[in-house]
Structure 1
Amino acid sequence: MIRVIRWFSFRIDPQSHIVQEGGLPMDQRALRNIFGQFASGVTVVTCAGAEGTPHGATVTAFTAVSLEPRLCQVTLTRTSKACGYLTDAPFAVNILAADQLSTALHFAGRPQAVAPDWDDTGIAPAFPGNAATLICRPWAEYDGGDHVIFVGEIVDASVDAEKDPLLFFRSTFHDLGDRSGSTAWNGCLDDPHSGWFDATATFTPLPAQLARAAS
């Protein structure tokens, strides 16, 4: 039997604010809504249980970590069953294509009539037909508050460049849509050859008047 974890569903108040005077606690729902303003791809993280049965959970908290060594991370709710399965286990990050909405729903608490097919990679179970697939061995595990951060070493990977990814924004699924502008980004200021925006890219100073206004 394939186990699933339930994905959160919520409505957004467009005028919602969580900034409060006096350092009062933030409202968790409002904070979650703010996190939901960050559009992301959709993955299903899969692994095999002790008995060899494949398990999966739909996860949007996926991040590239390092090119050398090749590392990525996924973040799971600490109280979820998925955390127990993923501890010290090889896993696959299935980056879903736009035509895999049913797969995302299947592992997000809405089982479909027909379960997705599995591929046996020899390390961790994975799906055919993904936009991309990362096969990982456990690298590290960190405390992330009410979540657990799992870092995996990528030992195998595949990509289908013809497929657009499935996206998630404001608690709904989306297609990629049209590009914004005609300029392609081919590098970052810190490492032009990496071709992606990097957390170590050079910071651009704010004009003095803007800095004063923000203080």
Structure 2
Amino acid sequence: MALPLLTDSARPTPHELGHEQTEYTDLLRQFDQPGACVVCLDPSLTVQQANREFFRQFDDASTDVCGRDFSDLLHPSVRQAVKRQFSRLLDGSRHRFTTHVVAIGAEGAAFTSGLTAVAVREGSAHVASILVVLRPTAGGEEVDMVTDRKKLLTETEARILEGIAAGLSTIPLASRLYLSRQGVEYHVTRLLRKLRVPNRAALVSRAYSIGVLNVGCWPPKVVDDFVK
């Protein structure tokens, strides 16, 4: 059964939002912005309703998007950081946030987007829903990120990549992973070849840029989806 599109009647009122009028006006300006993807989530972050641009950006069929966890539409490397921000909305620590994300659109294409989320409350405390506005980067530029959950790395390679990203050299890595120095260098060489980079610094940069390392996470952590 197809779920309804997000219409004007679904817009929260200033009373529901509990915001200052200026913030509410700013939110509506984003709502009406051409190309803006607007989606309403329940407190479990499940997609309930969305506008036509949202369905166009992610999938033509509303039945394929509604009912999904919103975080599934984000690249794995940014999910944890964004979920933490949503948690702060739900526990009342904040009433809105704005950030940049990498989302996965139709046919698995990754794209960058601004994201604004606002908690819609019932009364003074309970969060009834969350209104999210996505504004894809001008020009609709796609980014070179791994989106098909390809198992790129072995467990050992993942731990070595995390260590390199944390600034560890060969000897500390060997001690931590119970490998010889030659063993560490062997796996580092494999990583350089897999990610097609010339050195360790470029390896870390490349791993972040294609989404293999989680964004906003310390110590560095490889996204589990990409570990064999």
Q: TM-score, normalised by structure 2?
A: 0.20
Task: Please identify which structure carries the higher helix content.
Answer: 2
Structure whose residues are more often strand by fraction: 1
| TM norm structure 1 | 0.21
**Whose Rg is larger?**
2
